[in-house]
A and B are shown apart, each in its own frame.
Chain A
């Protein structure tokens, strides 16, 4: 399991966080319980299985929702 921290553009509506949360949870290889969308700091934190999914796949899923990803890190 790797830990990802993804910095997004400023989130303005709490329902955006719900969208992002649901989208991230629906991805294969992402640990559902670990997904945390932080509204005020506009960050997503989650654990993922690097064998099943890449960090890029995750950020792509978020960008397709319409949220710009500013920085993504995994370790």
Chain B
């Protein structure tokens, strides 16, 4: 019965609205005062039933909720036979709750869209080898699953057979389909655009990358900042205090009207709902734009940041070194083939860049490879002694570098790392290899500066020349080279001691200490586990251009929270003052303003869903 009535709250609100309109029609048009009173009394009782039920439930678990205040107020209005007010107050309260639910659903929509992308069913292979549809919860690690065109990949797994193109936008934010074949990893929540795959489940449910992203966002939207916890504690005592105040006023003034008006005015609605609404809308906007914000504490901190510290490789730069300059000192066509043969033996990032640059060529057998630590490689190729490495290695090999000196100086000034090759102690090739700066980073950093960040610092393990060059090109305020991971975290510690609010931006692979140490750790990750765990903010798909949006968004969200607190507190103060010092205030107006202020803070929060950083 209770459940039935509470389920029909919206219908009750509608009926009570009709009754109230009918009552006013009876009174003002047909001058049927008696009928009007009856209609209003019926509307009051009808409207009070669900509210009183909720109040009773609240009292049973020892909570003095808003429902309790409103129920007492309405009963009080009934006692002094003010049916007009009791009817209007109950209607406004029910109607307000309906509007709140509608608008709140909108603010939460962005995050809901994300969670609804979670796969629900899977085609699982049974003992007889056939595939049957099951709930995704029934899939265990090691199960073999079939994924058909258009279907969601149900779990994180590995492709056993078949091939196809998968849209991984839900994980990486990148919507260009990725080709998958045997042995490739696939992620839950991604969509197979064409082809058919058989996969084996590696991680299921909440353990999948997608499951963890959802978990993280869900936790984030309900995580509470210090201010919010204060408001919660405050609200816990505030409502009983209002009840007590009303009772005291009643005893002192013997004025029931005044006492019940205080009950309605004191409802703390907008105050307790204002901050969570801004929070959920801000985090929802982030989730839509590839920015994961881990909670409202992060939003508050990040909005006040004054120093951004960047890791260079993979953050400001692409992270894939490329051959940018090349100079040859003899015409021997086989030289490059020798070079490719030697570099093919190595896993060193520079070697990979060289091999990629030369491309397909004849590969000679490489004999007697000798890796010189901090120098390069010496090997026997096609009967020649080939050395590939830095200047120090060339000196060691007694290679004459005189004719190449100007080139070496120029290549270094361009921010290159140098790779040289000698064949039988004669210099043949000089290459400058450098990491390209991510496209658009310069503009993004300008935008970050305009948002009020004063210090932009780059820390890198590279030599100072390279780092300075990057800093100049990007307009950074400080650049430090030769930094090991522990130097980076010391540096951040020092900044914090000077009173700066520091955000560290890194790829989360080898700089997790710095990520954890900075007030705000920002990971540029393609949804990698480490990045998700250690950081406060994750930029999906390693997209640097989302950083200014993230910063602007947190600033807007923090501002929005403050506005909502001011609106909520302001409304309560104005209402309470006017109840004592003016004569226009009554219960109905109080309820109207109260419900109105709740809607205002929700609508204000909703603006964040549309937030976009101005270019």
Query: Which A positions have Cβ atoms within 8 angstroms of B?
Result: 10, 12-16, 18-19, 22-23, 26, 38-41, 43, 63-66, 68, 73
Residues of A within 8 A of B105 (CB): 10
- The minimal Cβ–Cβ distance linking B601 to chain A, given in whole angstroms, is 12
Task: Tell me the bound Cα distance from A19 to B105 in angstroms.
Answer: 21
Task: Tell me the bound Cα distance from A15 to B352 in angstroms.
Answer: 60
In this assembly, does B273 line the interface, its C-beta being within 8 Å of a C-beta of chain A?
Answer: yes
- For B68-111 the 0/1 string (1 means CB < 8 A from A) is 00000000000000000000000000000100110011001001
| Number of chain B interface residues as a range | 35 or more
Asked if A41 and B218 sit within 8 Å, CB to CB, the answer is yes
Contact for B273 among A13, A41, A63, A65, CB less than 8 A: A13
Asked if A40 and B221 sit within 8 Å, CB to CB, the answer is yes
- The minimal Cβ–Cβ distance linking B286 to chain A, given in whole angstroms, is 14
Asked if A40 and B2 sit within 8 Å, CB to CB, the answer is no
Residues of B within 8 A of A26 (CB): 61
Task: Tell me the bound Cα distance from A39 to B61 in angstroms.
Answer: 18
- For B279-304 the 0/1 string (1 means CB < 8 A from A) is 11000000000000000000000000
Asked if B218 and A38 sit within 8 Å, CB to CB, the answer is yes
Asked if B236 and A10 sit within 8 Å, CB to CB, the answer is no
- The minimal Cβ–Cβ distance linking B113 to chain A, given in whole angstroms, is 13
Asked if A22 and B111 sit within 8 Å, CB to CB, the answer is no
Asked if A14 and B61 sit within 8 Å, CB to CB, the answer is no
Asked if A66 and B6 sit within 8 Å, CB to CB, the answer is yes
Task: Tell me the bound Cα distance from A66 to B61 in angstroms.
Answer: 13
Q: Give B61's nearest chain A residue, CB to CB.
A: A22
The interface residues of chain A, by DSSP majority, are classed as mixed
Asked if A15 and B108 sit within 8 Å, CB to CB, the answer is no
Q: Give B239's nearest chain A residue, CB to CB.
A: A15
Asked if B54 and A66 sit within 8 Å, CB to CB, the answer is yes
Contact for B62 among A12, A22, A38, A43, CB less than 8 A: A22
In this assembly, does B63 line the interface, its C-beta being within 8 Å of a C-beta of chain A?
Answer: yes
Asked if B63 and A15 sit within 8 Å, CB to CB, the answer is yes
In this assembly, does B346 line the interface, its C-beta being within 8 Å of a C-beta of chain A?
Answer: no
Contact for A23 among B61, B104, B269, B272, CB less than 8 A: B61
Task: Tell me the bound Cα distance from A65 to B219 in angstroms.
Answer: 24
Task: Tell me the bound Cα distance from A38 to B280 in angstroms.
Answer: 12
- For B514-555 the 0/1 string (1 means CB < 8 A from A) is 000000000000000000000000000000000000000000
Asked if A66 and B53 sit within 8 Å, CB to CB, the answer is yes
- The minimal Cβ–Cβ distance linking B13 to chain A, given in whole angstroms, is 14
Asked if A15 and B58 sit within 8 Å, CB to CB, the answer is yes
Asked if B57 and A22 sit within 8 Å, CB to CB, the answer is no
Q: Give A36's nearest chain B residue, CB to CB.
A: B222
Q: Give B279's nearest chain A residue, CB to CB.
A: A40
Asked if B63 and A10 sit within 8 Å, CB to CB, the answer is no
Asked if B61 and A15 sit within 8 Å, CB to CB, the answer is no
Task: Tell me the bound Cα distance from A15 to B68 in angstroms.
Answer: 11
Residues of A within 8 A of B65 (CB): 13, 15-16, 18-19
Residues of B within 8 A of A63 (CB): 3
Residues of B within 8 A of A73 (CB): 137
- The minimal Cβ–Cβ distance linking A69 to chain B, given in whole angstroms, is 11
Task: Tell me the bound Cα distance from A12 to B547 in angstroms.
Answer: 32
Task: Tell me the bound Cα distance from A75 to B15 in angstroms.
Answer: 44
In this assembly, does B443 line the interface, its C-beta being within 8 Å of a C-beta of chain A?
Answer: no
Q: Give B108's nearest chain A residue, CB to CB.
A: A40
Q: Give B67's nearest chain A residue, CB to CB.
A: A15
**Given A39-B222, A66-B57, 18 further pairs, Cβ under 8 A:** A10-B101, A12-B100, A13-B66, A13-B97, A14-B272, A14-B273, A18-B63, A19-B58, A38-B218, A38-B222, A40-B108, A43-B218, A64-B2, A65-B57, A66-B3, A66-B6, A66-B54, A73-B137
With known contacts A41-B218, A66-B6, A10–B239 Cβ distance under 8 A: no
Task: Tell me the bound Cα distance from A75 to B51 in angstroms.
Answer: 35
Q: Give A41's nearest chain B residue, CB to CB.
A: B218
Q: Which of A10, A26, A73 has the most CB of B within 10 A?
A: A10
In this assembly, does B235 line the interface, its C-beta being within 8 Å of a C-beta of chain A?
Answer: yes
Task: Tell me the bound Cα distance from A13 to B70 in angstroms.
Answer: 14
- The minimal Cβ–Cβ distance linking A56 to chain B, given in whole angstroms, is 15
Task: Tell me the bound Cα distance from A12 to B219 in angstroms.
Answer: 18
In this assembly, does B232 line the interface, its C-beta being within 8 Å of a C-beta of chain A?
Answer: yes
In this assembly, does B173 line the interface, its C-beta being within 8 Å of a C-beta of chain A?
Answer: no
User: Top 8 closest A-B pairs, CB basis?
Assistant: A22-B61, A38-B222, A14-B272, A15-B65, A66-B6, A40-B221, A40-B280, A23-B61
Asked if B235 and A41 sit within 8 Å, CB to CB, the answer is no
Asked if A41 and B57 sit within 8 Å, CB to CB, the answer is no
Q: Give B269's nearest chain A residue, CB to CB.
A: A13
Task: Tell me the bound Cα distance from A66 to B57 in angstroms.
Answer: 8
Residues of A within 8 A of B157 (CB): none
Residues of B within 8 A of A64 (CB): 2-3, 57
In this assembly, does B276 line the interface, its C-beta being within 8 Å of a C-beta of chain A?
Answer: yes
Task: Tell me the bound Cα distance from A73 to B456 in angstroms.
Answer: 47
Asked if A12 and B61 sit within 8 Å, CB to CB, the answer is no
Task: Show 15 A/B contacts (Cβ-Cβ < 8 Å), sorted by A.
Answer: A10-B108, A13-B65, A13-B97, A13-B273, A14-B276, A15-B67, A15-B235, A18-B63, A18-B236, A22-B61, A40-B221, A41-B222, A43-B218, A66-B3, A66-B54
Task: Tell me the bound Cα distance from A65 to B108 in angstroms.
Answer: 23
Asked if A12 and B101 sit within 8 Å, CB to CB, the answer is yes
- For B221-256 the 0/1 string (1 means CB < 8 A from A) is 110000000001001100100000000000000000
Task: Tell me the bound Cα distance from A18 to B7 in angstroms.
Answer: 20
Task: Tell me the bound Cα distance from A26 to B61 in angstroms.
Answer: 8
Task: Tell me the bound Cα distance from A12 to B66 in angstroms.
Answer: 12
Asked if A14 and B235 sit within 8 Å, CB to CB, the answer is yes
Q: Give A16's nearest chain B residue, CB to CB.
A: B65
- The minimal Cβ–Cβ distance linking B115 to chain A, given in whole angstroms, is 8
Contact for B100 among A13, A38, A40, A66, CB less than 8 A: A13
With known contacts A40-B221, A41-B222, A12–B3 Cβ distance under 8 A: no
- The minimal Cβ–Cβ distance linking B357 to chain A, given in whole angstroms, is 50
Q: Give B2's nearest chain A residue, CB to CB.
A: A66
Task: Tell me the bound Cα distance from A40 to B596 in angstroms.
Answer: 21
Asked if B63 and A22 sit within 8 Å, CB to CB, the answer is yes
Residues of B within 8 A of A14 (CB): 232, 235, 272-273, 276
Report B39-64 residues with CB < 8 Å from chain A CB.
Answer: 53-54, 57-58, 61-63
